[in-house]
Amino acid sequence: MTSSTRKRILILGGGFGGVYTAMYLEKRLKRRTDVEVILVNKENYFVFQPMLAEVVSGSIGLLDTVSPLRRLLPRTTLYIREVELVDLQQKTVSLHPGFQPKQQVLSYDHLVLALGSVTDFRGMPGLYEHAFPFKNLTDALSLRNHLIHVLEEASNEANPQLKQELLTFVIAGGGFSGVEVAAEMNDYLREVCRQYSTLKPQEIRVILVHSGDRILDRELTPDLAEYAQRILKKRGVEMRMNTRLRTASQNAAILESGDRIPSKTVVSTVPSSPHPLIEALDVFKERGKVKVLSTLQVPSQEGLWAVGDCALVPSPGKDTYCPPTAQHAVRQAALLAENIVATLDGRHLKNFQFTGLGKMGSLGHRSAVAQIIGGIKLSGVLAWFFWRTIYWWKLPGLDRKLRVGLSWFIDLLLPADCVQLKLDEQQAIAQAHFEPGEVVFEQGDVGDCLYIMLKGEVEVLVETAGAQCCVARIGQGEYFGEMALLRHKTRSATIRCLTSVELLILRQGDFQALVSSLAGLRDSMEKVMERRLHVVSKESS
C-alpha cells in the first residue's frame, strides 16, 4: 500500500499526552498497513516529569527520568524537529529545517495537538534574564549546576554580605512543583554543604514565596496542606505567604509586597502558558487553551484533536475542566487513541469519564503527602513510600524502573555528590535587568564587559576624597564600560541605576575581537572615552 492511500495521524508534542497517544495507537492499530502514525518533538526522549525535582538533588541520575522515544514507539515515525507552522485549512504542518536549509512539510488526516505548556515570563521584567524556570530536563540540570557553583563561590567568599547572598535561595510558587523543588533543594544544600569546611548548614536560607495563605492550598485539603507547611518549616524552609515574585535582578528577588531578598538564585515555577503555536491557531480557545468536546475533538475542525496541558477537557459531571496532571493526560491519550481508530472505522465515539485518583507530592527527606480516591489521606513516611511506589510503577520501560530503583538504593547508602557538569557555552551577548538603586559595577572592579542600554537610566559616580559625586547620566541607546576594556584597567567609576534598567552585555573576549576587527569602532569608542574622561576630570576637580 502506497503512502498516498494511507491515513496519516500526526501527533505534535512528546509529553504525556503525545507519547501515550502514540503508544495506545500502536496497540490499537497493531500492524495495520492502512494507517501511519507520526510524532513530532524537539527532543528524542520522553521526560517523566513527576521525578524531575529529584534530578536537582541527585537522588536519581540525570538520564533516569528520560526514555528514548524510539524504544517506546517502535512503530511510530519520529521527526525530531521544531514545529514552525500549522495550517488547518491545507491540513499541513511545517517543520523547522534540519542540516539542510529546506522546510519539511507534513500532511495529515488527523492532527493531535499535545504541545503542553511553556514557561511564560512575559510582562515580568527580570525573570527571563535571572530566574530559573523548572519545566524540563535542561532546567533541572541548569539549576543543579548553578547550586553547586554558588556553593563553590560561597566557600571562598570573604565578604559576609555576599556570602549570605550566595547562600540564599528563593523559590516562587507554592504548588506541587514549587514545593517539591524547594524541599529537594533544601535537603540537598544542607547535606552537601557539609563537604565544604567553610560552610555550615545553618547558613543556608531557602525561601518559598506563595500568593496564598498556605502552600498547596489549591491541590490538597487544608489539614494536609498545613502538615506540608509545618514539615518544610521544621526543616528550615522560610515561607513568604500572600505575596508574589514581581521581578528579579542579578542580585535579588523583588516581591510584590516591596520586600527585596538579596539572592543569586531565584527559581520560578509559575507562570506557564500554552505553546505559542496554540495561540496562532484559529480554533475555540479559553485561557489560551484549546476547548475540546468530551470526545477530545476540536469543535468545527474535522480531524483535529487536543490533549494534555494545551487542551481544556470538560470534567465529567462537573461544570469545570480537567486539571493539567499526568494521570489525566495519560487517560485522555487512551481515549483519544480509541476515538481516532473509531473514526477511521466508522464507529461511535466515547466521552472522557475519568475524574482522578487523587493527588500526592514529595516533601523531601522521606516525607510526602497524599490524598487518594475515597477520601483517604496519607502523610509522612507512609505517604512517601506510596508516592515512590506509584511513580516507580508508572515509569515507562523496565530499564528505567531498574535504573531508578538502583539510584534510590544507592542514595540511601552514599552521601550526595557535588559534581558540576558545565555543558553549556556562554553566549556572546547576554541580557540583564536591574532595579532602581542597584549597582551594575563599582569603581575598582575588574573590567570584563561592555554594557549597552536598552531601557532606563543610570548615573556615573566617581569617588574622590572619600565621597561620591555624580559626573554623568547615561540613557537608552548609549553604552558604558568601554574605558576599562580599552585601557585594560579596573573600573574608574561606579554605575548605579536610577530607574529599572535593561542591558545588553558583551563579554571582554567578544568585545576585543569586535574592536580589533573594526578599526572605525575602536576609534569612535576612544573618542567617546576621551570625552568622558575629560568630564570626569572636570567634575572631580
Q: What is the pLDDT of residues 408-428, one digit of tens each?
A: 888 888 887 777 777 655 566
Mean pLDDT of the chain: 90
Q: In this structure, are residues 118 and 277 in contact, taking their beta carbons and an 8 Å threshold?
A: no
pLDDT value at residue 3: 54
Q: In this structure, are residues 501 and 455 in contact, taking their beta carbons and an 8 Å threshold?
A: yes
pLDDT tens per residue across span 167-200: 999 999 999 999 999 999 999 999 999 999 999 9
Residue 330 has pLDDT above 90, yes or no: yes
Domain residue ranges in the chain: 3-42+81-118+273-355, 127-270+359-413, 429-540
The C-alpha cell that represents 500 in the structure block: 529599572
Q: In this structure, are residues 215 and 232 in contact, taking their beta carbons and an 8 Å threshold?
A: yes
Q: What are phi and psi of 395, to 5 degrees?
A: -60, 130
Report the largest interatomic distance among the alpha carbons of the chain, rounded to a whole angstrom: 90
Residues sharing a CB contact under 8 Å with residue 130, sequence separation 6 or more, in sequence order: 248, 249, 250, 266, 432, 433
**Beta-sheet strand order (sheet of 252-255):** 245-248, 252-255, 260-262
Task: Say if 3-42+81-118+273-355 and 127-270+359-413 have the same CATH topology.
Answer: yes
The Cα 95–Cα 106 span in angstroms is 8
User: How many CB atoms are closer than 10 A to CB 265?
Assistant: 24
The band of 1, judged by pLDDT with boundaries at 50, 70 and 90, is: very low
The band of 2, judged by pLDDT with boundaries at 50, 70 and 90, is: very low
Q: Which string of b and e fits 132-147 if b means at least 16 CB within 10 Å?
A: bbbbbbebbbbbbbbb
pLDDT value at residue 106: 96
Region 221-243 average pLDDT:
95
Q: Which fold has domain 127-270+359-413?
A: FAD/NAD(P)-binding domain (3.50.50)
Q: What are phi and psi of 262, to 5 degrees?
A: -60, 120
Q: Which string of b and e fits 108-119 if b means at least 16 CB within 10 Å?
A: bbbbbbbbbbbb
Residue 469 has pLDDT above 60, yes or no: yes
The Cα 245–Cα 128 span in angstroms is 13
pLDDT value at residue 214: 93
The C-alpha cell that represents 350 in the structure block: 466515547
In single-letter form, the type of residue at position 454 comes to L
- Of all residues in the chain, what percent carry a pLDDT higher than 70? 96
Region 334-338 average pLDDT:
97
Q: Which fold has domain 3-42+81-118+273-355?
A: FAD/NAD(P)-binding domain (3.50.50)
Nearest to 9 by CA among 96, 105, 107, 88: 107
User: How many CB atoms are closer than 10 A to CB 441?
Assistant: 20
pLDDT value at residue 508: 83
Residues sharing a CB contact under 8 Å with residue 17, sequence separation 6 or more, in sequence order: 112, 114, 116, 307, 308, 309, 310, 311, 329, 332, 333
Whether omega before 323 lies within 30 degrees of 0, making that bond cis, reads no
pLDDT value at residue 77: 97
**Per DSSP, which regions of 96-157 are E strands?**
104-107, 110-113, 117-119, 131-133
Residue 120 has pLDDT above 80, yes or no: no
Q: In this structure, are residues 360 and 387 in contact, taking their beta carbons and an 8 Å threshold?
A: yes
Region 82-92 average pLDDT:
94
pLDDT value at residue 424: 57
Region 101-109 average pLDDT:
86
pLDDT value at residue 541: 60
In single-letter form, the type of residue at position 305 comes to W
Q: Which CATH architecture has domain 429-540?
A: Sandwich (2.60)
pLDDT tens per residue across span 351-392: 999 988 899 999 988 899 999 887 899 999 999 999 999 999
The Cα 227–Cα 233 span in angstroms is 10
Place of cell 567578544: 510
The Cα 184–Cα 532 span in angstroms is 50
pLDDT value at residue 425: 57
Region 203-216 average pLDDT:
95
Range in 106-110, 268-272, 302-306 with the lowest mean pLDDT: 268-272
Q: What are phi and psi of 307, to 5 degrees?
A: -150, 155
Best-predicted range by mean pLDDT (23-27, 30-34, 246-250) = 23-27
The DSSP-derived string for 172-198 is E--SHHHHHHHHHHHHHHHHHGGGSTT
